[in-house]
Structure 1
């Protein structure tokens, strides 16, 4: 699976967080730096495994931190909010 963002989603960086707005749903969501990074890789060109590896390569995480679980949880959030294509 190669996640891809839906059209009509507006993104605005505000300090250390990012707001994304779904015009269709008329709702804002606040993303932290890791979620924003994952969001940017939802371009239809990166697999879930690619995204997991990119997070490993770009963020300092403790050994106990489960990157795969975090990526899956973040993608499920995006899907549940209607932000990704099916």
Structure 2
């Protein structure tokens, strides 16, 4: 999915169920019957996979919530999380 500026956008698949468990969240994919446990940061990445945020926007939103010393490490972690979501069939790109 690409926006009018040519930026890749990320969208959660419709049928994925999420349950907030405090410091973690649990995703359930009824199609594959798989359960995925997300830490707080991964949960935030998941929330921004709404079809309205590009990778850069997601990175900026998350880095704005934390005191980040190594920006590249955070960006790499966010990209890896989105890649994992995609590989697991949880988001569309």
**Selected match of 1:22 from 18, 23, 29:** 29
Greater strand proportion? 2
Listed as ranges, the matches of 1:3-18 within 5 Å are: 3-18=10-25
- 1:66 shift after superposition: 1.1
Q: Counterpart in 2 of 1:85? A: 92
Using the size of structure 1 for normalisation, the TM-score is 0.92
Cα drift, residue 59 of structure 1 = 2.0
Q: Partner of 1:76 in structure 2? A: 83
Q: CA RMSD in A?
A: 1.3
Structure 1 portions without partners, runs of 5+: none
Residue in structure 1 matched with residue 3 of structure 2 by the alignment: none
The residue matched to 2:50 in structure 1 has which SS? coil
Displacement after TM superposition at 1:61 (Å): 3.0
- The equivalent residue for 1:57 is 64
Give the TM-score normalised by the residue count of structure 2: 0.86
Structure 1 residue runs of 4 or more that deviate by more than 4 Å after TM superposition? none
- Unpaired segments ≥5 residues, structure 2: 1-7
